[in-house]
Amino acid sequence: MLRVNKDRILDADGTEVRLRGVGIGGFLHLENFINGYPGTGHELQEVMANDDFFHRMLDHFFTEDDVAFIAQTGANTIRLPLNYRWFDSDEGFARVDRAVEWCERHNLYVILDAHAVPGWQNTDWSSDNASGRALFWKELHFQDRYVAWWERLAERYRGREIVAGYDLLNEPVANAPPSGGFDKQRYQPGWDAINQLYRRTVTAIRAIDPNHIIFVEGDGYAERFSGLDAPFAENLVYSSHRYIAAGFGPGPYPSEQWSAERERRDFLATEAAQFARAHEVPLWVGEFGAVYNGAEEELDDRLRALEDQLALFESEGVHWTLWTYKDCGVLGWVTLEPSSPYMKLTEPIRRAKLALDTDFWLHWLPDPPFRAERQKLAAAMLELAGDVDMSPEAHQTHVSLAVSTYAGALLQPAYAALFADLSPSELDDVLSSFRLDACIPNEPLLNLIRKTASS
């Protein structure tokens, strides 16, 4: 069983272990850009007429072949994001059971990650949130369900040495405004709420499983740590997320704006790095990455930025898992073949998504005309409403989120109709596009992973 000794993670023999790996988004937590659908996952599940659709997608999306492939890169860890909705039945637990067994066979540690919880822990679409509000923090019954979920997970996986530990809560925003949205510039963390929740959840888990590591993320999308309680239990690791502009672009790297030295300075000044140093605890960057669907002539720039980021983590003794393993061509270690049956069938919907800017955060892509119209709407709303206790940038993002979520929902019936009349074998043929042997490895990225992991 892995354990924490000051700022190091050790195995049962006392040998230091550095966690290096990738998150498996799109499996037990669906995301629109990963799985190639519009809107949020839970809304789409209500729209889909074909009950077998999601079960078959998951059957193909992540298999033992994927685990073996990841292990062959030299990585030693997967972060397994979980959406609580899959655990209202036994299917979620059964799929995690199989994933853990595969990882045992291929010597990959598993971190179980509560990625989407009842009531939504943040305001973003990435928590399967179509409302823009973080109600998890407002209603105690949501937190009760969440703690009970962790108790079931702890009961099921205690004693499993291949499970590195439990990532308590992905990207929390404990003090979002009642109207929704998130203003990074003005955000005041909800320290009392998050500290109370973490203590309650750790106590509940420890009553069942006294041994596994528990990973604790900062508030404000895992960036704010200054008001977190000092480590209050054994075997705690602290986790931040570190997406940087140089990994997204557009623009060359390095440049006057972006460089390895600047990122080193900025990273060491983060609340996460300062907290880890002050309390002599391990730090794990649970998400970061670069994008590969921008201008072709800038792909090497994105990889250079990622290479410098990985080198920084290695030099500072930081554990890391990239986001994400497999997707439809944005961040993945492997991506769907553009001419695959799934990509060909869904091409009209994905083209409409681009035109309606439903994945508005893909800001490095050319601006669709709809984006300018949405920006005019946001400006008009701000002018009529007057001072709205939110920076203009945050207001623009909040309007973008609301409009894009609605636009994505409008596209869902057309997406569902693509699959409605397929026979079981035809549906399986289409969704087998997600199988590893049908996907394209991102070899430049994988070569970087192999080089870093082997070091």
pLDDT of residue 175: 97
pLDDT over 90 at 160, yes or no: yes
In sequence order, the β-bridge partners of residue 283 are: 238
Does a structural domain hold residue 406?
no
Does a structural domain hold residue 269?
yes
pLDDT, one tens digit per residue, over 101-118 is 999 999 999 999 999 999
Closest CA to 412 of 144, 91, 47: 47
Does a structural domain hold residue 295?
yes
Pairing assessment for the beta strands 3-5 and 8-10 based on DSSP bridges? antiparallel
**Range name among 24-38, 169-183, 342-356 with the lowest pLDDT average:** 169-183
Tokens (6 digits) for 216: 């604790």
Does a structural domain hold residue 179?
yes
Number of Cβ within 10 Å of residue 417's Cβ equals: 13
Does a structural domain hold residue 83?
yes
Confidence grade of residue 454 (pLDDT, cut at 50, 70, 90): confident
Instruction: Count CA atoms within 13 Å of residue 29 on its CB side.
Output: 24
Number of Cβ within 10 Å of residue 422's Cβ equals: 17
Residue 241, CA distances (Å) to 267, 304, 320, 450 in order: 11, 19, 9, 22
Q: Which domain holds residue 168?
A: 3-339+436-454
Over range 57-77, report the average pLDDT.
98
pLDDT, one tens digit per residue, over 1-33 is 999 999 999 999 999 999 999 999 999 999 999
pLDDT of residue 49: 79
Closest CA to 395 of 383, 405, 406: 383
Does a structural domain hold residue 150?
yes
**Range name among 400-404, 428-432, 437-441, 447-451 with the lowest pLDDT average:** 400-404
pLDDT, one tens digit per residue, over 290-316 is 999 999 999 999 999 999 999 999 999
Mean pLDDT computed over every residue of the chain: 96
Could you tell me if 30 and 24 are in contact, meaning their C-beta atoms sit under 8 angstroms apart?
no
Report the CATH number at residue 236: 3.20.20.80
Tokens (6 digits) for 391: 């920076």
pLDDT of residue 364: 93
Q: How far apart are CA 68 and CA 436, in angstroms?
A: 11
Count of the separate structural domains present in the chain: 1
Over range 349-362, report the average pLDDT.
94
Closest CA to 443 of 77, 73, 20, 108: 73
Pairing assessment for the beta strands 77-83 and 109-116 based on DSSP bridges? parallel
pLDDT of residue 262: 97
Q: How far apart are CA 303 and CA 298, in angstroms?
A: 9
In 171-270, which residue ranges form alpha helices assigned H by DSSP? 191-206, 219-222, 260-268
In sequence order, the β-bridge partners of residue 359 are: none
pLDDT of residue 287: 98
pLDDT over 90 at 233, yes or no: yes
**Strands of the sheet with 326-327, listed across from one edge:** 326-327, 334-336, 439-441
pLDDT over 90 at 394, yes or no: no
Does a structural domain hold residue 367?
no
In 280-335, which residue ranges form alpha helices assigned H by DSSP? 299-315
Q: Is the pTM for the entire model greater than 0.75? A: yes
Query: Residue 27 corresponds to which amino acid?
Result: F
Tokens (6 digits) for 455: 């070091």
Confidence grade of residue 393 (pLDDT, cut at 50, 70, 90): confident
Residue 147, CA distances (Å) to 93, 121, 158, 203, 223 in order: 16, 13, 16, 10, 23
pLDDT over 90 at 416, yes or no: yes
Query: Residue 323 corresponds to which amino acid?
Result: W
Does a structural domain hold residue 291?
yes
pLDDT over 80 at 390, yes or no: no
Could you tell me if 312 and 244 are in contact, meaning their C-beta atoms sit under 8 angstroms apart?
no
